[in-house]
Amino acid sequence: MKVLTSSFESYDKHEYAKSAVLYVLNHFKPNLHKKSFGKHYQKKTTIDLFPDEQPDLFKLISSEIDHIAKTVGLNADWFSTDEYMKLWKKNFTQFLGENIEIQESLDSFESNSDDVNAQFEMIIDSLSRLSLLLKTSYDEWHQKSMAEFLESDLPFELYNLYNLSYIEKISVIRSQVGDLMRLRNMLHLVRSNDKKIKSELAKFEQRNYATSQLLTSVSRSELTLKFYLRSKNAQSLDDLFKTIPLKLDVNSDKQFNVYFNSFRDNLSVFTNFVDRKYLYEDIALNSSNSESFVDFDEKLRTVILKHG
C-alpha cells in the first residue's frame, strides 16, 4: 500500500505563510517625529510606522528554531541550526516563487518609504494577501494533515487542535487588518493633535501587544510540539520539513504530553481572545462539504451528553 503522506508536497507552504506574517508584523514599530516644513520652518508631527532597522526574517526564525531545538533537546549529528536555515531559506524561496503576489507585497517593504499612508498600505496589503492564501489553501492543508494522522500514531484530538489553530490564525490576521484600518482612519481624523495621535497609538499598541504575545505563545507551543514529533521520527534534516508518519515510543510519551498540554492551554486562551466577529466567520471554513455528515454533529453531541 502506498503511504498516504507521500502524495503531498515535501515542504509545508502554510508554515512559510505564517513566517511571512511574523515578518510583516515586525515592521509595525510606530514612532513620532517632529519635522520642519516650508520657509518658516514650521514644525509638524509625522508618524513613521516602520522601525529604523529592517526586521530580519531569517534571524527571527533562526533564533526561534535554535530555542526550540534546545527545548526539545535535539542532539542528532545531522542537525545544526545553520544547516536547518539553509533548507528553510530554500523552501521559503520556493514558496515565494510559487506565490508571486506574496513576494511582491513583501518586496515592497524594501522601498523604505517614510510616507505613513504607504506604510499602512504595505502592511494591510501583505496581511490581507497572506490571510487569503491561508484561507484558499485550507482544504489542501487539511487533507495533508489527515494523511499524516492516518499514517501516524498520535491522538485525533491533536489534529482537532491543529485545525482550530490554523483557522484562528486566519482570524487573528484579519482582525489585525481591521484594527490597522481603524487606526489609519483615526490617525487621519486627529492628524493635527499630537496628544490624540499618541493616545490612539497607545490604545492600538496595548491591544497589539496582547495579540502578539498570545500569538507568539500559541505558535511557539505548536511549533515545539511539531518539531519534537518530527525530530523523534526524522532520519535526516530533510525529514524535519516533510509530512511523514509520526510514531511515539514509550519514552517519548511523557514529553509529548507536556508539549501537547501546553499547546492545548495556549490555544484555549487564544481562542477566547480572538475577536469573535472574525472567529465566527472563519470557523465556517470548518463546515462540512458532505450531505452524509450533516446530522453526525448532532448525534455525536447527544451521545457525549449521555455518556458516562
Among 10, 63, 93, 143, binds another protein (CB under 8 A): 143
Alpha helices, DSSP H only, in the chain? 13-25, 57-72, 81-98, 100-107, 116-136, 138-151, 156-189, 194-233, 253-271, 276-282, 296-306
69-74, Cβ contacts within 8 angstroms, sequence gap of 24 or more: 69/227, 69/231, 71/224, 72/224, 72/227, 72/228, 72/231, 72/255, 72/259, 74/227, 74/231
Nearer to another protein, 56 or 139 (CB): 139
**Which residue among 119, 126, 145, 243 contacts another protein (CB under 8 A)?**
145
Query: Which of residues 49, 65, 123, 147 is near another protein by CB under 8 A?
Result: 147
Residue 161 makes contact with another protein by CB under 8 A: yes
Of 30-38, 75-83, 217-225, 290-298, which part binds another protein (CB under 8 A)?
290-298
- Contacts to another protein from residues 260-279, by CB under 8 A: 267-269, 271-272
Give how many residues touch another protein by CB under 8 A: 47
Residue type, 156: F
Residue of 150, 181, 189, 202 interacting with another protein (CB under 8 A): 150
Grid coordinates representing 58?
531569517
Answer yes or no: are the C-beta atoms of 195 and 142 closer than 8 Å. Answer: no
Instruction: Tell whether residue 257 is a contact of another protein (CB under 8 A).
Output: no
DSSP 8-class letter at 170: H
Nearer to another protein, 250 or 305 (CB): 305
Report the interface residues with another protein, using CB under 8 A: 1-2, 4, 7, 139, 142-143, 145-147, 149-150, 155-157, 159-161, 163-164, 267-269, 271-272, 283, 286-293, 296-308
